[in-house]
């Protein structure tokens, strides 16, 4: 018997999440039966999607959704020996019993000197999102200029670096001067703090007077409205996220982008990384190769302690993280 902790959604978020929306539950888990394993979380992920999905995919009392890197601590399934690591989608839990069908083993060639936490970030879902947005949605070409917002985060920091690998000019925006300095370290050509520039319009014009071929959209809302005005004719926009509206209690309204899209003949496509799940194993190998070659740098914002997950989640939504926000259990 193991004592398992989980964070449940006590109350649907109304506006920005608060401590009382979460409940810490403790329960005894049964021993794994034949074919099953007992998992213990090692690293847990907090991601923006948890905010909108909490409304569309969860009811009050459910365990918070999410992925984690877990270690097999008991096994009655030969495919998952004790001591091996997996990525699981069991959400905000310290322990879980699984029959293995919904587990993804960490790639066998995972280098010893690379933290397994990267399986939740640069060599995980956010890295895949960056890769597919650039290659499958934007089909970014050498010499083009790309704009990415929330650029110092898990997805954005990978977007900018892959665009540099592809020989593009990259402009990024982020919410602090320290993040802007980090973007320069990563090789971004231009970066600015969207919270302190006197005019977003001017900042976008200054960073690329000729405009932008591509926009990797993570933020939406007002930023998007202004950025569309700086797209070149026939520009492409990959709509990956819209974090600036996730906590709105009342939906934002206009200005509406359609005239701008028509006059500039823009192409805008929303996407979910899961569309290319069949490519994940190969894509993760490519991301790992870039990490090993030093072409893909990574930073993490690590919160220690499972009890601190709600704080880590709310902190990420407020921009406390540079790079991927993870919890070390
Ligand atoms: N389509 C997909 O399959 C997919 C997959 C993964 C992620 N996403 C989306 O990609 C985006 C980035 O996700 P991530 O995991 O990489 O998160 P992240 O960037 O690591 O963390 C979220 C960041 O968003 C920024 N932010 C928060 N509120 C903002 C606002 N009002 N305006 C501008 N920026 C704001 C904060 O940075 P600042 O300090 O810069 O404000 C914060 O650090 C999200 O929109 C997410 O939903 C989509």
Under a CB-based contact definition with an 8 Å cutoff, are residues 306 and 41 in contact?
yes
- CB-ligand 1 contact for 272 (6 Å cutoff): yes
> What CATH code is assigned to 2-120+299-328?
3.90.180.10
How many residues would you count in the chain?
329
Domain chopping of the chain, boundaries: 2-120+299-328, 125-274
Under a CB-based contact definition with an 8 Å cutoff, are residues 46 and 88 in contact?
no
- What's the confidence (pLDDT) of residue 28? 97
Q: Measured between alpha carbons, how far is 288 from 291 in angstroms, rounded to an integer?
A: 5
Residue whose CA is closest, atom 20 of ligand 1?
153
Q: Measured between alpha carbons, how far is 122 from 298 in angstroms, rounded to an integer?
A: 7
- CB-ligand 1 contact for 219 (6 Å cutoff): yes
- Which atom of ligand 1 is the closest one to the Cα of 271? 1
Closest CA to 212 of 169, 247, 276: 169
Please list the pLDDT of the chain residue by residue as tens digits (329 residues): 899 999 999 999 999 999 999 999 999 999 999 999 999 999 999 999 999 999 999 999 999 999 999 999 999 999 999 999 999 999 999 999 999 999 999 999 999 999 999 999 999 999 999 999 999 999 999 999 999 999 999 999 999 999 999 999 999 999 999 999 999 999 999 999 999 999 999 999 999 999 999 999 999 999 999 999 999 999 999 999 999 999 999 999 989 999 999 999 999 999 999 999 999 999 999 999 999 999 999 999 999 999 999 999 999 999 999 999 999 99
- What's the confidence (pLDDT) of residue 254? 87
- Classify residue 165 as exposed, middle or buried by CB count within 10 Å of its CB (0-12, 13-18, 19+): middle
- What's the confidence (pLDDT) of residue 1? 82
- What's the confidence (pLDDT) of residue 269? 98
In CATH terms, are 2-120+299-328 and 125-274 the same topology?
A: no
Q: Which two tokens stand for residue 24?
A: 């810490």
Distance 230 CA to ligand 1 centre (A): 21
For residue 190, what are the contacts with CB-CB under 8 A and spacing of at least 6?
A: 169, 170, 171, 172, 206, 207, 208
- CB-ligand 1 contact for 241 (6 Å cutoff): yes
- CB-ligand 1 contact for 67 (6 Å cutoff): no
- CATH entry 3.40.50.920 includes domain 125-274: no
β-strands 95-98, 104-105: how paired? unpaired
Residue whose CA is closest, atom 3 of ligand 1?
272
- What's the confidence (pLDDT) of residue 75? 98
Distance 285 CA to ligand 1 centre (A): 24
Q: Measured between alpha carbons, how far is 325 from 290 in angstroms, rounded to an integer?
A: 21
Helix, strand, coil percentages for the chain (3-state, nearest 5): 35, 25, 40
β-strands 104-105, 212-217: how paired? unpaired
The reported pTM is 0.98
């Amino acid at each position: 018997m193991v004592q398992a902790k989980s964070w449940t959604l006590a109350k649907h978020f109304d506006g920005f999440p608060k401590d009382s929306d979460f409940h810490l539950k403790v329960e005894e888990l049964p021993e794994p039966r034949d074919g099953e394993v007992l998992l213990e979380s090692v690293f847990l992920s907090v991601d923006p999607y948890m905010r909108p999905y909490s409304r569309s995919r969860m009811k009050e009392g459910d365990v918070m959704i999410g992925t984690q890197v877990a270690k097999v601590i008991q096994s009655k399934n030969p495919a998952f020996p004790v001591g091996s690591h997996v990525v699981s989608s069991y959400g905000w839990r310290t322990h879980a019993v699984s029959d293995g069908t919904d587990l993804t083993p960490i790639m066998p060639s995972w280098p010893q000197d690379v933290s397994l936490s990267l399986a939740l970030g640069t060599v995980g879902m956010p890295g895949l999102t960056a890769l597919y947005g650039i290659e499958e949605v934007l089909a970014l070409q050498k010499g083009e200029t790309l704009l990415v917002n929330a650029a110092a985060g898990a997805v954005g920091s990978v977007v900018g670096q892959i665009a540099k690998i592809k020989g593009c000019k990259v402009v990024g925006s982020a919410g602090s001067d320290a993040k802007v300095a980090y973007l320069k370290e990563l090789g971004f050509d231009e970066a600015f703090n969207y919270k302190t520039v006197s005019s977003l319009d001017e900042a976008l014009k200054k960073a690329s007077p000729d405009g932008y071929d591509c926009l990797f959209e993570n933020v939406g809302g007002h930023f998007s409205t202004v950025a569309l005005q700086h797209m070149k004719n026939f520009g492409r926009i990959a709509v990956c996220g819209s974090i600036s509206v996730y906590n709105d209690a009342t939906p934002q309204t206009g200005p509406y982008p359609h005239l701008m899209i028509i006059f500039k003949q823009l192409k805008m496509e929303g996407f979910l990384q899961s569309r290319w799940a069949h490519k994940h194993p190969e894509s993760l190998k490519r991301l790992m190769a870039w990490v090993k070659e030093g072409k893909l740098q990574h930073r993490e914002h690590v919160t220690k302690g499972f009890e601190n997950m709600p704080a880590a989640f709310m902190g990420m939504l407020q921009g406390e993280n540079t790079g991927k926000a993870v919890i070390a259990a």
